[in-house]
Structure 1
Amino acid sequence: MDDFDSRKRKKPLDRKTALLKAADYCAYQERSQQEVRDKLYGYGLHRDEVEETIYELITQGYINEERFAKAYAGGKFRMKGWGKRKILQGLKQHRISEYCVKKGMLEIDSDDYFNTIIKHLEKKRPSIKTDSQYILKGKLTQHLIAKGFEMDLIQEAIKQVLSEEN
């Protein structure tokens, strides 16, 4: 460790102060247990202190995994236009339980979901300059896979959008 690292590190917080800071952190926006756990370790708390603090935050209602999953899934879909696969991957990175993941995914309406795919296609289509239908379909598919959408819905949406063009 060089001098810069040692100057940057602050002395660890006591558990009471860390609890107050973590409560403020959770009050600002929905947080997963994992995000809070990482923050608490960053404050210099040890494993037992971190788990006790997490437990207190849950019992006080600051952390709720189901509420987080719903906010995350709904937000990423509505604000960023992500597909279910990408949202699912994000929830798994937050170590959300399977039950809460399912609850979160219910926030996405299937009609809105398909319409979002269509909007992505209509927005992307003009930027692809090619006369080949094969290349066009490939690039549109690639774009939607990167957004996290499922292949069967991608194919159905591409078929619909391209048939409207002709």
Structure 2
Amino acid sequence: MQSKKTYTLQEATKKLEHYCAYQERCHQEVRKKLESMHMIPEAIDVIIVHLLKHNFLNEERFAKTFVRGKFRIKAWGRRRLTYELKKKDISKVNINQALTEIENEEYIEVFNELAEKKARLIKETNVYKKRKKLIDYLSYKGFETHLVYEKANELVK
């Protein structure tokens, strides 16, 4: 039988400082990491408070970084970003604050480029099926329904 590695409070704190310094983390990720290290709930709370106090953990900063990264790299729309942040238990205030990181002009520009590129790549000859595929793709990416339908009707005739 293999014994689990145990950590002292100081060791776990140092490990989590490095974990948070390497990449922005949300409270949920940190809590899961500590649970996987088999820390007791009281120790988890002490470590999270320490990380917050020393600015290793900051939910607002995490949300902003998450939104910028996923929008610029994966071209996710606001609905998908909101959904993913809610899954990570980020507060509504922080989600709304983070979404202001995306400029409206840039958002529409990325949406239009994505829609036009996808419309060119869909090989479907049936107009209705092609429009449906484009709508499904843009909806999956998390763009607002009114934008998706307007663009699909404009591009697929």
Q: Give per-residue Cα distances to partners, 1:30-89, cap 9 Å, x unaligned.
A: 100111111111111111110110001000000000000000011100111011111111
TM-score (norm 2): 0.92
Of 151-160 and 104-113, the range deviating more from structure 2: 151-160
Whole-Å separation in 1 of the counterparts to 2:17 and 2:64:
20
Q: Is the 8 A contact 2:119 2:156 kept in 1?
A: no
User: Secondary structure, in 3 states, of the residue corresponding to 1:12?
Assistant: coil
Aligned to 2:52: 58
For the 8 Å contact 2:26–2:88, the answer to whether it is kept is yes
Deviation at 1:95, TM superposition (A): 0.7
Alignment match, 2:141: 147
Distance in 2, Cα, partners of 1:134 & 1:101: 35
CA gap of 1:111–1:84, structure 2 versus 1, over 3 A, is same
Q: 1:88 aligns with which of 68, 82, 103?
A: 82
Q: Distance in 2 between matches of 1:35 and 1:22?
A: 11
State the distance in 2 between where 1:151 and 1:52 align.
Answer: 44
Aligned counterparts of 1:128 and 1:34: Cα–Cα separation in 2: 38
* Cα drift, residue 12 of structure 1: 1.9
RMSD value over aligned CA atoms?
Answer: 1.5
Runs of 4+ deviating beyond 3 Å: 159-163
Consecutive unaligned residues of structure 2, counting only runs of 5 or more, are none
Decide which of 96, 99, 104 is 2:98's aligned counterpart.
Answer: 104
Identity of aligned residues (%): 36
Please give the alpha-carbon distance, in whole angstroms, between the structure 2 residues aligned to 1:83 and 1:10.
42
1:1-166 alignment to 2 at 5 Å?
A: 6-7=1-2, 10-162=4-156
Aligned residue for 2:102, secondary structure, equals: coil
Letter in 1 for 2:120: P
**TM-score normalised by L of structure 1:** 0.88
Supply the AA of the counterpart residue of 1:112: E
In the comparison of the two structures, how many residue pairs are matched?
Answer: 157
Aligned equivalents of 2:129, 2:86: Cα separation in 1:
33
Q: CA deviation at 1:161?
A: 3.8
State how far apart, in whole Å, the 2-side matches of 1:158 and 1:112 are.
Answer: 19
